[in-house]
């Protein structure tokens, strides 16, 4: 399969991830990929091309796209645009699953589109301003968005073909969720394979086939994402950051960090100080 898995780490202190689409400058193409979360692309200006399976959507101002968990998709952004991306972990919808870890949202326009876009814009505006109590306001808006998703866009009668297709990646999604919840511990291929009743060789092949990455690299990518957040926070020393995020020590963190980001953790911290004017 010519697509890869995308790791999604929620914002610190929030049950979701919110950001401006990285292809906002145009001349950008995001290859086919999938993830465990529900993803919303809300176009505030400009346009995007969305490809999901054999279907194509052309999004313009005030359009949005709901991408389902485990749904393989790509995004083409040839022209400048401003697109807000909201990523919501699948587990937040568990009370509304229509099958085993399964929920499906419609891609078609609904009768509440205008209100939905207003809420997404408001959520991002509050996030940018960060006024007093913004975290409470953001959670309030977020749960209004969640309400509209399950009320107006959730498909309660889903064709069996959708369910069968979802299962192709559902096994691996359950494993990646377990890894994300236990990344600080000593995660080995053998131990995770035992927990999910697979052989290590089968689990290794599953990662290469569906995620396009080795088991070890996947675990390390999660640890690095959380380590980066700790470095941004500035509360911990580099050694503390390493140990908090499953690395054996600062040297192991440094090797992995430099390989992924092209610099040492110490250089990253120093550059951040310079950017912040300290």
Tell me the average pLDDT across 258-278: 82
Tell me the average pLDDT across 230-241: 92
Query: What pLDDT does 113 receive?
Result: 84
Three-class DSSP category at 219: helix
Three-class DSSP category at 83: strand
Query: What pLDDT does 213 receive?
Result: 78
Residue 257 has pLDDT above 80, yes or no: yes
Q: Are 34 and 70 in contact (CB under 8 A)?
A: yes
Query: What pLDDT does 234 receive?
Result: 86
Hunting for tokens 């814009």 — which residue is that?
Answer: 121
Q: In what order do the strands lie in the sheet with 4-5?
A: 4-5, 28-34, 73-77, 47-52, 55-60
Query: What pLDDT does 6 receive?
Result: 61
Output phi, psi for 130, to 5 deg.
Answer: 50, 45
Output phi, psi for 2, to 5 deg.
Answer: -95, 55
Residue 9 has pLDDT above 80, yes or no: no
Higher local confidence (pLDDT), 35 or 96: 96
Question: What tens digit of pLDDT does each residue of 116-172 get?
Answer: 999 999 999 999 999 999 999 999 999 999 999 999 999 877 666 666 656 656 677
Three-class DSSP category at 196: coil
User: Cβ contacts of residue 100 below 8 Å, gap of 6+?
Assistant: 170
Query: What pLDDT does 5 receive?
Result: 54
Taking the whole predicted model, whether its pTM rises above 0.75 is answered as no
């Amino acid at each position: 399969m010519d697509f890869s898995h995308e790791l999604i780490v929620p914002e610190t202190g929030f049950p979701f991830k919110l950001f401006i689409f990285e292809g906002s400058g145009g001349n950008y193409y995001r290859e086919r990929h999938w993830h465990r979360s529900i993803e919303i692309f809300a176009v505030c200006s400009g346009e995007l091309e969305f490809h999901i399976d054999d279907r194509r959507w052309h999004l313009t101002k005030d359009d949005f796209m709901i991408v389902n968990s485990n749904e393989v998709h790509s995004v083409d952004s040839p022209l400048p645009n401003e697109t807000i991306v909201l990523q919501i972990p699948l587990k937040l919808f568990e009370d509304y699953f229509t099958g085993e870890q399964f929920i499906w949202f419609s891609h078609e326009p609904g009768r509440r589109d205008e209100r939905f876009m207003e809420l997404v814009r408001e959520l991002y505006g509050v996030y940018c301003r960060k006024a007093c109590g913004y975290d409470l306001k953001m959670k309030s808006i977020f749960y209004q968005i969640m309400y509209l998703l399950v009320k107006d866009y959730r498909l309660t009668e889903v064709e069996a073909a959708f369910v069968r297709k979802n299962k192709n990646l559902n096994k691996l999604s359950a494993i990646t969720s377990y890894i994300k919840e236990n990344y600080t511990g000593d995660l080995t291929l053998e131990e995770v394979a035992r927990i999910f009743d697979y052989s290590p060789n089968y689990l290794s092949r599953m990662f290469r086939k569906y995620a396009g990455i080795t088991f070890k690299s996947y675990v390390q990518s999660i640890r690095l994402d959380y380590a980066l957040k700790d470095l941004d926070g500035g509360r911990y020393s580099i050694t503390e950051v390493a140990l908090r995020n499953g690395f054996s020590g600062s040297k192991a963190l440094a090797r992995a960090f430099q390989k992924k980001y092209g610099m040492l953790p110490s250089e990253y911290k120093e550059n951040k100080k310079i950017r912040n004017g300290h």
